Structure 1
Amino acid sequence: MPRLRQRPGQGPGEVPVELLRRGEPLWDDPAASRRWFERHGLTPGQTFDVGPACRRKEAIWAWLVANGYGNPTYPKFPDWHRVNQLSIEGSWSADATRERLSKVKGQ
């Protein structure tokens, strides 16, 4: 899982709007995802493939943990109760499944 640095002043109540709306390019466009993660704390010099949906999910999890939304019991994972209360988009597994199915159908 990638490590993201915490952005100063970024915390509860200051969640980037892109994490709240499923229609944002962040969710479906790998280039837009890469730009978003660079703007929001992807560690400089770190190479990270945000192409597959499952990779974007991991990066978003890392961002959530780095910005104070981590689970106290399992520190590498987001605190899903808090994430859901903030209405942060969390439908990544459906995206990853859809990508896998489209690859199978294309073969």
Structure 2
Amino acid sequence: MGVIGVCQKYGLGRVSGVCYPEVPMKAISRLGKAPTERGDTTSTTGSPDILALNDGAFAVIGVDITEELGPNPLEDARCASNERIVRITRATLISAKKDIPDE
């Protein structure tokens, strides 16, 4: 039985081939400064952001540019049908740098 079968058998989710208990996904913190502190937001638009999730992964809020770049933006970069390519400002990433773990 493969990893997927084992995860399903025990009611576990799977990320990158690793089984984990199913828990509701939740954003627990922000990496870097808030969009208002960076000047990356207005009262009428969204705000680029990088969020830490309760499972140790990260989520990115940005403008969807998947259609503009296509499914293969670089020779060795592919965007699957269940993925999106998003654009964030340079200030968003630079602000988050200090909060990105080394490992």
Q: Which band: TM-score by shorter chain?
A: under 0.3
Larger Rg: 2
TM, length-normalised to structure 1: 0.25
- Give the number of the structure whose residues are more often helix, by fraction: 1
The one of the two structures with greater contact order (alpha-carbon pairs below 8 A, sep at least 6) is 1
- Give the number of the structure whose residues are more often strand, by fraction: 2
TM, length-normalised to structure 2: 0.25
